[in-house]
Structure 1
Amino acid sequence: MNREALETWRGRVRGSLLGGAIGDALGAPVEFESGRKILKKHPQLLRTFVTGGAGWPPGTVTDDTQMTLFTIEGLIRAGVRSDRGLGLTLAPVHHAYDRWLDTQQRSAPSGERDGWLQAEQWLYARRAPGNTCLAALRGARHGGPRITQYGVQVVNDSKGCGGVMRVAPFGLLPDTFTTEWVFDAASETAGYTHGHPSGKLASGALAAIIHEICGGATLDTALDTAAELLTRYEGHEETSEALTDARELAALPPAHRPASVDQLGGGWVAEEALAIAVYVSLIHQEPEQFLDALALAVTHSGDSDSTGAICGNILGALHGEAALPAELAATVEGRAVVLQLADDFVEEFTRTQPHPGFAARYPSS
């Protein structure tokens, strides 16, 4: 990869991760509110961070960003494992989610874990974590009936958006990984907590869209690729139909956009969250429209933080870090950690020789 290509990719990785965090923090305070109520309080749509209903300071991120950060840390550690000749497997991502579980069950790092991310005190905060994620990860840790083990799919019928909202890092992998592999890997890791086909396949589709974009595809072309990949899997119909609905709605003449968002659902389940983010990204896909897109993505009667996060992941990958709303990018919680992980991810998957100091920061799982 030449220097220009490397810097373009780095900008996409940073843009996608930080864009997702911005969308998450923008939507978190209005999650659970109706679209009508949001519009009454914010007639021009919500374009700046506000205090959350739980008293969270403006710019506070939720479990969506927390789990995305542990996803990318798990991928870095999987890469380090591969550097040591152990092969690249997805189990380190599952182990990373187990470290995230500590942040939801403890008030501070215990000193029993390795790696630097789990030592970040600000992550030890419960930001409305999904019950499905908590239950599945607790089960993987402690065992019991109908429970998974590390690296094995959970047995449940959940298709909540807790899988799709965290898998963008798979799409950011370099083109040495095929889009088919990225789709399958994202689906598999979503399946550590969400067992329904739509919960997994929507996650694979998002990762495929982002991976194609990072490879230089337009958003429409990336959606075509994801749509074709979906048809290869049993149980794809809900996700395929949701993406078709999003694209058809985006092709209609402009109307009352927030009402259009609500036509796609509330975003509580995976395929709806993906469809809302795709719809908004399609109608506001110019770099200068980034904030317009995020503002619309969170203005609906549903899971506003997740739809905002996914929209930010997509458009951040499409346009890179330079297109992010500057004030929001500067003040979102965890900015320094997000960017550190982004840069470490790029380093891990571009260097040719193992780096001892780097490997010490990301021990193999």
Structure 2
Amino acid sequence: MIDLDRAALERYRSRVRGCLIGGAVGDALGAPVEFLHSDRIRDEYGPDGLTDLVTGSDGVALVTDDTQMTLFTVDGLIRASVRADHGASHPPSTVHRAYLRWLDTQRLAAPPPDPDGWLAAQPWLYARRAPGNACLSGLGSPGMGTPEQPKNPGSKGCGTVMRSAPFGLYPHARVTAGAAFDLSAECATQTHGHPTGYLAAGAFAAIVRTLVAGEDLRAAVAVALDLLAGRTGHEETTAALRSALAAADDDPRSPDRIEHLGGAWIAEEALAIGVYCALSHPDPAEVRQALLLSVNHSGDSDSTGSVCGNLLGTWHGETALPPDWVAAVEGRGAILELADDWAMEQTQGAQLHGDHGPCTEWTRRYPA
């Protein structure tokens, strides 16, 4: 159990909730314009582009595979923590099995009769929302990708980054930024084997982990750059993050600036755009503006919105997020429930399972 006082526990919980629901809000915000050129966005939504969350007739804004995979990342990491009670836990393998449960949601119309854990029993997750080909093929082929034998060795798509914020959500007393980087990068090789693909995922996790510790975003990016410098093949990710920092120092804050950072279809560009937009509007009162900036461009808008939302939610906590958007996002109840489960597991797990706690309801939720 992590030794945090009550105020620190509440701050930590707010950052975890902010990260997961913030990513979902950014994802849902960008989803309707994901494949539209910026000119088309302005034609459809007006001269300022998209200015609000788009909801259906039921008032719900739909998320994509970005949020789906992020949630299953959390599920896998919680199970890895529960497995540690048994004396043998290999988090990459447990995360891989969680991603296979996500893959089922892309193949089945509804949860199976005997779903594996409570998350896999959520009907709203059984929806195909333009999943990436590398994620589908990497998980759909036999075996698990590893750093020594990665899946799709030529792929560096943003499917690694958009799911990797949870690797950084450990309390700072438990996991270092370097350890979060390494675990995220290793799990990214399960679908994307290009160094830029998995190193960008590692850098994102390190940034989130540093934000959890209470540092600001610029300091967090500096930590990630230091970690990248020691990794073979870091050059593209390093250059993208440096470009994001330089762009955030300049005016105007506009979608045109984003176009110079890339289309975000590849990992380092998605990370750089998310960082740039969060740094361009760093005040907690500017979260709405940052999220709108992150999706009003010609590239992979849902992924950049998701990354930006993860960063802002972790940095400022859940109460900085636009409440009207939080209220409308698909799966809000389940996302926040999962966030709370993560925070309890990481800080109070001994009271939930193991030799000193009950081994009933919690292990039914997260079978080890």
TM-score (norm 2): 0.93
Q: What stretches of structure 1 of length at least 5 have no aligned partner?
A: none
User: Which residue in the other structure is 2:159 paired with?
Assistant: 162
Question: Secondary structure of the residue that 1:235 maps to in structure 2?
Answer: coil
8 Å Cα contact 1:161/1:199 also seen in 2: yes
Shift of 1:110: 1.9
Equivalent in the alignment of 1:207:
205
Structure 2 partner of 1:28: 31
Contact 1:94 1:151 in 2 (8 A): no
Q: Choose which of 320, 334, 342 in structure 1 pairs with 2:331.
A: 334
1:292-346 alpha-carbon deviations (Å, 9 max, x no partner): 0000000111100000000000000000010010100011000011001000001
Aligned to 1:291, which of 288, 292, 314? 288
Q: Contact 1:182–1:207 (CA<8 Å) still a contact in 2?
A: yes
Find the residue that maps to 1:107 and give its secondary structure.
coil
RMSD: 1.9
SS at match of 1:340: helix
Matched ranges for 1:172-191 at <5 A: 172-175=169-172, 176-191=174-189
For the pair 1:358 / 2:358, whether they are aligned, the reply is: no
Flag the 1:28–1:151 CA change in 2: closer, same or farther, 3 A. Answer: farther
Residues 14 and 321, structure 1, Cα contact 8 Å, conserved in 2: yes
Q: What is the aligned length?
A: 356
Q: Flag the 1:106–1:190 CA change in 2: closer, same or farther, 3 A.
A: same
Contact preservation (8 Å) 1:151, 1:192:
no
Instruction: Classify 1:243/1:343 alpha carbon distance in 2 versus 1 (closer, same or farther; 3 Å).
Output: same
Does structure 1 retain, via aligned residues, the 8 Å contact 2:146–2:189?
Answer: no
The match for 1:133 is 135
1:152 CA displacement: 6.4
Distance, in Å, in 2 between the alignment partners of 1:113 and 1:20 is 25
Normalising by structure 1, report the TM-score.
0.94
Tell me the percent identity.
52
With over 3 angstroms needed to count, the CA separation of the structure-2 counterparts of 1:179 and 1:267, relative to structure 1, is: same
Match for residue 237 of structure 1 among 214, 235, 238: 235
Change in CA separation of 1:221 and 1:305 when aligned onto 2, cut-off 3 Å: same
Deviations 1:197-239, CA, capped at 9 Å, x for gaps = 0100000011100100110111111111000000110000000
On the 8 A contact 1:91/1:150 being kept in 2, the answer is no
- CA positional deviation for 1:16: 0.6
1:39 Cα deviation from its structure 2 partner: 2.7
Alignment of 1:59 with 2:57, yes or no, is no
SS of match in other structure, 1:349: helix
CA contact (8 A) 2:147 2:186 kept: no
* Residues 45, 5 of structure 1: alpha-carbon distance in 2 compared, 3 angstrom cutoff: farther
